[in-house]
Amino acid sequence: MTQTPRHVLPIIVLAQFAGTSLWFAVNAVMPDLQIQMGWPASDVGRLTSALQLGFIAGTLVFAVLAIADRFSSRWVFLICSLAGSMCTLGALAQVDDFLALLMWRATTGFFLAGIYPVGMKIASQWFPKGLGVALGWLVGALVLGSASAHGIRALSSQLPWSTVMLSVAGLAAAGGLILYVLIPEPPQKTTQAKQLQWQALASLWTDWRVRSSVLGYFGHMWELYTLWVLAPLILATRFEGTQLSMAAFSVIGVGALGCILGGLGAKRWGSAKVATLLLGISGMCCLLAPWLMFAPLEWMMAWLLVWGVTVAGDSPQFLTLTASNAPPHAVGSVLTLTNCIGFGISIVSIELFTHLAKWHDLSTLLPWLGLGPLLGIWAMWPLLKKPAQPLGR
- Domains by residue range for the chain, with CATH: 1-184 (1.20.1250.20), 204-388 (1.20.1250.20)
Q: What is the pLDDT of residue 390?
A: 44
Contacts of the segment 380-384: beta carbons below 8 A, 24+ positions apart: 380/212, 380/213, 380/215, 380/216, 380/272, 380/275, 380/276, 380/279, 381/212, 382/208, 382/209, 382/212, 383/209, 383/212, 383/213, 383/216, 383/272, 383/276, 383/321, 384/272, 384/273, 384/276
Q: What is the pLDDT of residue 130?
A: 58
Q: What is the pLDDT of residue 388?
A: 46
Average pLDDT of the chain is 87
Q: What is the pLDDT of residue 391?
A: 44
pTM tops 0.85, yes or no: yes
Length of the chain: 393
Distance CA 325, CA 123 (A): 19
Q: What is the pLDDT of residue 194?
A: 57
Q: What is the pLDDT of residue 188?
A: 59
Q: What is the pLDDT of residue 121?
A: 77
Q: What is the pLDDT of residue 267?
A: 82
Q: What is the pLDDT of residues 179-188, one digit of tens each?
A: 999 988 877 5
Q: What is the pLDDT of residues 68-88, one digit of tens each?
A: 777 888 999 999 999 999 999
Which stretches of the chain score pLDDT less than 50? 1, 190, 388-393
Contact 118, 153 (CB under 8 A): no
Distance CA 32, CA 232 (A): 13
Nearest to 275 by CA among 324, 340, 202: 324
Which 3 state secondary structure label does DSSP give 288?
A: coil
